[in-house]
């Protein structure tokens, strides 16, 4: 008789956990990729900074809101991805560490 974890046999539980870890890795990659794109659409800058070449009257927040709406995510979600991508450059990210 095999050990049961929750409502699945132990072996099945381990397979489900393994698959979940794979999905978190993919999700993390997507979150950082979306954050990187958000940085290109609306670069972060210090508070009070003036408009940059190429920005229109929407400003940084407006551009980010427009972009988020166009891809079906909330402004706050995209802003979080953008913030994390800016603070964890690609060369500093570690495999296996979730977003």
Indicate the helix (H) or strand (E) that contains 66: helix 59-71
CB atoms under 10 Å from CB of 55, counted, come to: 14
Structural domain includes residue 2: no
Tokens of 57: 């009257």
User: What pLDDT shows up at residue 80?
Assistant: 95
Higher pLDDT, 44 or 74: 74
Per-residue pLDDT band at 56 (split at 50, 70, 90): low
Rounded CA-CA distance 99/87 in Å is 12
Quote the pTM value: 0.74
Structural domain includes residue 70: yes
Structural domain includes residue 48: yes
Q: Give yes or no for residue 38 having a pLDDT over 70.
A: yes
Residue-range definition of the domain harbouring residue 32: 7-92
Rounded CA-CA distance 99/97 in Å is 7
């Amino acid at each position: 008789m095999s050990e049961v974890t929750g409502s699945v046999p132990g072996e099945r539980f381990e397979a489900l956990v393994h698959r979940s870890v794979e999905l978190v890795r993919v999700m993390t990659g997507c979150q950082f990729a979306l954050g990187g794109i958000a940085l290109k659409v609306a670069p972060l800058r210090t508070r009070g900074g003036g408009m940059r070449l190429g920005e229109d009257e929407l400003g940084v927040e407006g551009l980010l809101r427009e972009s988020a709406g166009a891809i079906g995510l909330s402004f706050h979600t995209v802003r979080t991805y953008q913030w994390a991508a800016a603070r964890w450059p690609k060369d500093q990210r570690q495999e296996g560490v979730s977003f």
